Amino acid sequence: MISCKSYQLKDGKPVSNTEKTVENLYFSSKEDYVYKCQMDVYKNHISGILIIKKISETMHRVVMTSDFGNKMIDFEISENDFKLNYVLADLDKKMVINFLKNDFQELLRQKFPVKESFENDDSKIYLSKFDKKQYYLFFDKENGLLNQIIYTQNNKEKIDFTFEAKKTTFAEVINLQHKDFKINIKLNQITENE
Amino acid sequence: MIKNIAFGAFLLISGFVFAQNTAMTRAEAKAFVTKISSETKEIKTLQSDFAQTKKMDFLDKSIVTYGRMSLKSPNTLSWKYTKPYQYSIIFKENKIFINDQGKKSSVDAKSKTFEKINKLIVGSSNGKMFSDPEFSVVYLKNSSSNIAKFTPKSAQLLKYIKQIELHFPKNQSTVSQVNMTEASGDTTNIVFKNTKINAPIPASEFSL
């Protein structure tokens, strides 16, 4: 069973706020973001290529194709909007689309107003809140890069995002793990983003 | 005014490029299909390197992946991407074997999409595609190649694909290039290189 206990930050010492807002800049550039994508949805394994592109100040275009190149899903997404351009008949299920919409809305969220700040040995940690949603953002102390976001709702851990990056605007490896459902998305960069 | 001239010049040039492909006569098309069909009957194995280029209107750059294709008559097929990531798919004895960057799985070959991919690749290498009732075919030629343009007949299939173009160089009985256009207008283009016919293929090529 997957646990549903309340999320509590371990070994983080409260510190005074130094930042008003922190940002996830991993999708903030207008370049193409292209990843090899492996999704595990319960027992189904879905493979393909995922393309994310910022098309306006608030909007991203997200397209997933199979490894052979044919399009599986194509949508435009912002914090408040969602427009489905195309979905392959086999994937056209409300549950699937809602999951993708929700996951990508969280992954692409850029600005996080800081409510509280913490520190541990490795990271500076910022807590951000929107209504029932809470986010813990972990920034590596050494290189200053965002390496994890823990997204909670009503204090329950919902999604754990991890990032491996060498610069602020581009993550080479991204993992998205649901804590309440057996859904995992793994992204590996396949084209240089310069 | 300059804009108009530039536009006119563009039309002229693109018109010239497009005009290079002309329709085959009925007799030419028949001769072409007969030739390809008889030559491909002699194909027992086929190996080729490929480069796959995906274009989408909103992207700055195309997405290019590389790999190797191996085919053993009548219907064993290995399609392996090697760059920039590893992904292999093998069609063998009505089963599909997949190795996705080390993650191995197998499924029965019932999936409609996989069935179509297999049919398309195997069909285009053995000439059977020309008589596939699901497509209508138009034959074109230019100075270096013969081109068969396939359009799905059913609305069902049109949802996936608008058109498939197979290019056969004039001195070759196998496909050198496949251009696929999706309903959205996005294109996937596959160029085959270093094609070997009837060279022995090690069994390991058809296992993960």
**ipTM for this model:** 0.85
Determine contact, residues A190/A49, Cβ cutoff 8 Å. yes
Q: Which of B56, B60, B117 sits opposite A68 (nearest CB)?
A: B117
Q: Tokens 């240089």: give the residue.
A: A192
d(CA A153, CA A164): 24
**What is the model's pTM?**
0.86
Kindly report which listed range (A82-86, A105-109, A183-187, B93-97) carries the lowest average pLDDT score.
B93-97
Whether residue A6 is contained in a domain is answered as: no
pLDDT at B24 over 60: yes
Whether residue A89 is contained in a domain is answered as: yes
Residue contact B56–A47, C-beta within 8 A: no
Pairing of strands B103-108, A183-189: unpaired
pLDDT band at B8 (very low <50, low <70, confident <90, very high): low
Query: Is the peptide bond preceding residue A113 cis, with omega within 30 degrees of 0?
Result: no
Residue of higher predicted confidence among B95 and A170: A170
Whether residue A78 is contained in a domain is answered as: yes
Determine contact, residues B155/B21, Cβ cutoff 8 Å. no
Cβ-Cβ contacts under 8 Å, B113 against chain A: 66, 70, 90
Average pLDDT rounded to a whole number, residues A103-110: 96
pLDDT value, residue B15: 45
d(CA B125, CA B74): 11
Backbone angles phi, psi at B13, to 5 degrees: -65, -50
Q: What is the mean pLDDT of chain B?
A: 84
CATH at A185: 2.50.20
Instruction: Give the domains, in start order, of chain B with CATH numbers.
Output: 23-206 (2.50.20.10)
Q: What is the mean pLDDT of chain A?
A: 92
Residue A102's contacts (CB-CB under 8 Å, 6 or more residues apart) are: none
Q: Tokens 């007969």: give the residue.
A: B34
Percent above pLDDT 90 for chain A: 74
Cβ-Cβ contacts under 8 Å, B61 against chain A: 32, 191
pLDDT value, residue B99: 92
Average pLDDT rounded to a whole number, residues A131-138: 93
Percent above pLDDT 70 for chain B: 82
pLDDT at B104 over 50: yes
Determine contact, residues B98/B114, Cβ cutoff 8 Å. no
Cβ-Cβ contacts under 8 Å, A63 against chain B: 56
pLDDT value, residue B37: 85
Residue contact A71–B182, C-beta within 8 A: yes
pLDDT band at B17 (very low <50, low <70, confident <90, very high): very low
pLDDT value, residue A7: 86
Cβ atoms < 10 Å from Cβ of A15 = 12
Contact residues of A toward B, CB < 8 A: 31-32, 34, 36, 38, 45, 47, 49, 51, 53, 55, 61, 63, 65-71, 74, 85-86, 88-90, 188, 190-191
Whether residue A2 is contained in a domain is answered as: no
Best interface-test mutation with B: which of A36, A42, A66, A68 has the largest number of B CBs within 10 A? A68
Chain centroid to Cα A134, Å, comes to 14
Best interface-test mutation with B: which of A70, A86, A172 has the largest number of B CBs within 10 A? A70
Residue contact B188–A32, C-beta within 8 A: no
Whether residue A49 is contained in a domain is answered as: yes
d(CA A82, CA A39): 21
Q: Tokens 């983080």: give the residue.
A: A12
pLDDT value, residue B16: 47
**Could you read off the pLDDT of A1-35 as tens digits, one per residue?**
455 567 888 888 999 988 999 999 999 999 999 99
Backbone angles phi, psi at B206, to 5 degrees: -105, 20
Name the closest residue on chain A to residue B184, using Cα atoms.
A86
CA-based nearest residue to A75, from A48, A114, A104, A46: A104
d(CA B184, CA A194): 28
- The tally of domains found in chain A comes to 1
Give the type of residue at A106.
Answer: E
Q: Which of A34, A45, A86 sits opposite B100 (nearest CB)?
A: A45
Determine contact, residues A161/A149, Cβ cutoff 8 Å. yes
Residue contact A74–B184, C-beta within 8 A: yes
**Could you read off the pLDDT of B49-75 as tens digits, one per residue?**
999 999 999 999 999 999 999 999 887
Q: Tokens 């102390």: give the residue.
A: A141
The two structure tokens encoding residue B177: 């290039």
Give the type of residue at A139.
Answer: F
Percent above pLDDT 90 for chain B: 49
Residue of higher predicted confidence among B125 and B72: B72
Whether residue A7 is contained in a domain is answered as: no
Q: Tokens 């608030």: give the residue.
A: A58
**Could you read off the pLDDT of B172-195 as tens digits, one per residue?**
888 899 999 988 889 999 999 999
Q: Where are the alpha helices (DSSP H) in A8-114?
A: 94-108
Q: Which of A31, A49, A55 sits opposite B63 (nearest CB)?
A: A49
User: Domain range holding A19?
Assistant: 13-189
pLDDT at B103 over 90: no
Backbone angles phi, psi at A119, to 5 degrees: -145, 145
Residue contact B60–A32, C-beta within 8 A: yes
Q: Which of A32, A67, A88 sits opposite B81 (nearest CB)?
A: A67
pLDDT at A63 over 50: yes
Average pLDDT rounded to a whole number, residues A181-189: 94
Best interface-test mutation with B: which of A62, A67, A194 has the largest number of B CBs within 10 A? A67
How many beta-carbon pairs below 8 A join chains A and B?
Answer: 65
Residue contact A45–B103, C-beta within 8 A: yes
pLDDT value, residue A36: 96
Whether residue A194 is contained in a domain is answered as: no
pLDDT value, residue A187: 97
